[in-house]
């Protein structure tokens, strides 16, 4: 795919949704970090239901750590893998207090040193909370990048690096939100909704579908 096509793709996505947002509910970098940790192998809707009860009770590392693993588990037991997530979150809260004065760090190295925080989670926090040009490649972004030809790659890291290289600079900060939403609602895994797609004429997918 050439640079002109890529530019037009992101221009249209920007035109349709000038200020894209994550569908996770949060009001601080700490709440975002916890929501993203909880969202692994879970839906944003499911995470939001749990955090709607959790955050009014504990929305700081100190308060959440005070709940303990068992106390936290009561709030998140509707989410998959909640036992291991509760342990990771409680330990993360302890480290945030001890190492970072109760604040979420804004560096990849410090974020990835926290339990339950891998590269993808760190990228979400860096991009969404701190507005750094990071690209969190989830299953939606991986699929859209390969299927459309925007940034094909065999691994998540390869796709991430290509997106950082190929996405026009003016669209880079919001590109990850546009691609996730596009994959979630239009370029779906089982059957892409090509007939409803804003970028169908630019996409290089060979097996386009109708919406019938």
**Annotated binding residues for [4Fe-4S] cluster, as ranges?**
187, 194, 197, 203
Task: Assign 3-class secondary structure to 33-71.
Answer: HHHHHHCCCCCHHHHHHHHHHHCCCCCCHHHHHHHHHHH
Q: What is the CA radius of gyration of the chain?
A: 18
Q: Pick the catalytic residue: 5, 77, 106, 120?
A: 120
Active site residue 165: no
Q: Which residues are annotated as a binding site?
A: 187, 194, 197, 203
- CA 2 – CA 4 distance, rounded (Å): 6
Would you say 73 and 88 are in contact if contact means Cβ atoms under 8 Å apart?
no
Q: Pick the catalytic residue: 16, 21, 87, 138?
A: 138
Question: Hey, what's the torsion of the CAs at 107, 108, 110, 111, to 10 degrees?
Answer: 110
Active site residue 120: yes
Residues noted as catalytic: 120, 138
């Amino acid at each position: 795919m050439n640079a002109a096509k890529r530019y037009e793709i992101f221009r249209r996505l920007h035109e349709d949704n000038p200020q894209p947002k994550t569908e996770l509910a949060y009001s601080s970098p700490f709440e975002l970090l916890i929501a993203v940790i909880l969202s692994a192998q879970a839906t944003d809707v499911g995470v939001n239901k749990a955090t709607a009860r959790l955050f009014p009770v504990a929305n700081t590392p100190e308060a959440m750590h005070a709940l303990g693993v068992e106390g936290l588990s009561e709030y998140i037991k509707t989410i998959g893998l909640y036992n291991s997530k509760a342990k990771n979150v409680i330990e993360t809260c302890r480290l945030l207090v001890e190492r970072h004065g109760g604040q979420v760090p804004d560096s990849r190295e410090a974020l990835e040193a926290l339990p339950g925080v891998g590269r993808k989670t760190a990228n979400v926090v860096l991009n969404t909370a701190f507005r750094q040009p990071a690209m969190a490649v989830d299953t939606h972004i991986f699929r859209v990048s390969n299927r459309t030809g925007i940034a094909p790659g065999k691994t998540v890291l390869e796709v991430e690096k290509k997106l950082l290289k190929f996405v026009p600079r003016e669209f880079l900060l919001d590109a990850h939100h546009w691609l996730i939403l596009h994959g979630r609602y239009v370029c779906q895994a089982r059957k892409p909704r090509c007939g409803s797609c804003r970028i169908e004429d630019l996409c290089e997918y060979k097996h386009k579908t109708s919406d019938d």
